[in-house]
Amino acid sequence: MSNQDLRMQLQENLDEAEWDWLIPHAKRDAIIVVTPVLDLIEVGVAVASDNTAKVGVWISEALIAKPSAEQMGKWNSYRTKRFDTLIVQPYVLIQEKP
């Protein structure tokens, strides 16, 4: 599958979810938080196509990361907090909505 096809497929899978719906994924340690400076689809393409160089840079710059205990605590107390979400098995990429 070309990156363009992958991008189109991921675009169709882009969704919005409340934290409450994401908790089961957090419990299985599958959530990856993407900072708003990155494009969620671009991150999804890099993860799905195993682009370890690009993903490694984002991790080292703290642009993508597992949610911190502080973030999860905040979201657990505000379960209707909304996120843009993208499932890239086995992960769920999330981006906080303003």
- Each domain of the chain, given as residue ranges in start order, spans 3-96
The half-sphere exposure of 64 on its side-chain side, counting CA atoms within 13 A, is: 23
The half-sphere exposure of 29 on its side-chain side, counting CA atoms within 13 A, is: 0
Report the pLDDT value the prediction gives residue 2, as an integer from 0 to 100.
85
Query: Can you give the pTM of this predicted structure?
Result: 0.93
Q: Name every residue whose Cβ is closer than 8 Å to that of residue 49 and which is 6 or more positions away in sequence.
A: 3, 6
Report the pLDDT value the prediction gives residue 90, as an integer from 0 to 100.
94
Mean pLDDT for each consecutive 10-residue tract of the chain (98 residues)?
89 95 96 97 96 97 97 94 95 93
Q: Name every residue whose Cβ is closer than 8 Å to that of residue 1 and which is 6 or more positions away in sequence.
A: 9
